[in-house]
Structure 1
Amino acid sequence: VMLDTAGRLTIDEEMMKEAENIKAFAKPTETLLVADAMTGQDAVNTAKTFDDRVGLTGIMLTRVDGDARGGAAMSMKAVTGKPVKLIGVGEKWTEIEVFHPARIAGRILGMGDVVSLVERAAETVDRAEAADMARKFKKGQMDFNDLLKQIQQMKKMGGMSSLIKMMPGLSAMSGKLEAAGMSDSLVKRQEAIIFSMTVKEREKPDLLNASRKKRIAAGSGTTVQEINTLAKQLKQMQTMMKRMRKMGKGEMMGMMKQMMGGNMDELALMAESMDAEALAADMSQTDPRTDKGSLPGLGGTPSALPGLGGKAEKNRDNKK
């Protein structure tokens, strides 16, 4: 059970007494201060007052997916001595994450966060679909139905903007990529294009001739040029999957290092997750808490809060 007190931008005596009374009555296991990452240094006074009056056990930062650097988190931690336990990276309940200092520092510095990216994939990917997709990837047989599943999967994981910030080498360029058109709005338009296709057109991309493309463009509110771009993207993905099928893990890591200049440990993890056969096997292992597929050692993120189910997660970032 979670109790949410009324929000406030400034310290209000009447509302502070209300929070004190709620804590005295409910005797909660955890008392978290939920603060906006964009608030800035004003949050320091709020955190200190709440800690003095109510007694905090931790802090949760929201809107971490925005442009704020989260400097308020360090200030609140220094003033209260209480740890940041959770962060909000979206507006949905599923977009609350356990706070990992090293991973967040990587995002802020533009180094990405591959571990969280793989964990997020493990929590949202359906194991049966993943195994089927892995088999198609291995053969290089992708159609628009598969591309649609990839788009919808990306949306479940937080959208293109969120994922770009987690990719080594791309996170620092997120602003430029969005300016170049690589944004969530592009994904929505691509989704609309595929929805406007017939069943046969999705299954057999080669059927798309000039008249079909005009019809799809009219139905999706897009242009023929955008349809050509999407078809070309599908072709490139088919070619890439065929190439990756012939590559060993060492070659794959070398290719990714050249493309993104990432950390070798993180690239090794990414290479493991991109291995088609390994992905199918990994996703078939079910996490008993979520009934979702799980990557070995990177299962569904357990709660870091006693009393809310699950045990505190050990910081894997310190492992070498």
Structure 2
Amino acid sequence: MKNKYFLLALMAVTTATVGTADAQECLGTGTCAVSVSQYPTATQTTSSTAFVAIANDMYAGEFALCNVTAGVNYQWSLCSADGGNAPYDSQLSLYNGTTNVAICYSDDNCGDDAKIGWTATFTGTVKIQVTEYDCIANTTPTTLVWRTMPAVGPDAAVGNVYTMGTISSVHSNPHVVSARINNSGSTTFTSLPVTLTVSGANTFTNTQTIPSLAPGATVVVTFTGYSSTATGTNSVTVSLPADNVTGNNTMAVSQVVNTSSENYAYGSVPTGGVGYPTGAIEVAAKYYANAATSLSSVIVPFQVAGSVFKVKVYNGGGTGGGPGSLLYTS
């Protein structure tokens, strides 16, 4: 199988996920270095089950100190649906307030914003830190909200589906889908089945089992690849067994199958992107071809007209799966 990177200087939209603001995550890796800047200066306390603001004028690079009680479920959110606001690609990191030991991390949980859910394992304080990706400080006013969550029992959620909006019946087979599964409840799941169902122009079913998923934990499940030989539209659905909260047990995305093009974005209207405030950056998107082929065009949508950009094509077999040797530059 051949794989190539298209490296796009400045900004290119390569959306590959669909998320829900109801989901939460508590990733075990990715936390940024602990900041020395606390804001607000007062220690925060809440027993509210509705989201309340910690501050609406925090900056990325600052942390808030919060009291927590063992056994209580807490959520911290920058998601607009929860009342948060971060007009940039945000991250959240949670630490023990005394030892600075990392507890949880969240990135891109709701669009490009973060939301942490955690059941307190001790009574004391935690630091919840806001950063701009990748662990950058800024001076953009940010609203961070938090709340307590009643024990809901078993609640597994499909947080994201990772696939492509357009695949090729000639070059994309087999196509591999993965999904991020969150335990948003208060009980541990064991032997949790996660099912991928492809319907429409092509059909396929595959089930993977998560051995164990603790409250607040998140795992990415990768399914067996499938082949789409018929052109048309696939419905790609990831589902979980029914539990106490059924509204987050299923997520479906639409996938166009044609003969010649591949695209990470869903639909024709960009809903997000990546970029950098000043200077130039390079953004890589990895595409696969299962046979020898030629690249005829690369379409790069921009949010602002008149942007200067350059397209580079790299071999996809570099160190760690990253870009390898440069094959072409525009």
What TM-score, normalized to structure 1? 0.25
TM-score if structure 2 supplies the norm length?
0.24
When Rg is computed on C-alpha atoms for both structures, the one with the higher figure is 1
With a CA cutoff of 8 Å and minimum separation of 6, indicate the structure with the bigger relative contact order: 2
Bigger proportion of residues as helix: 1
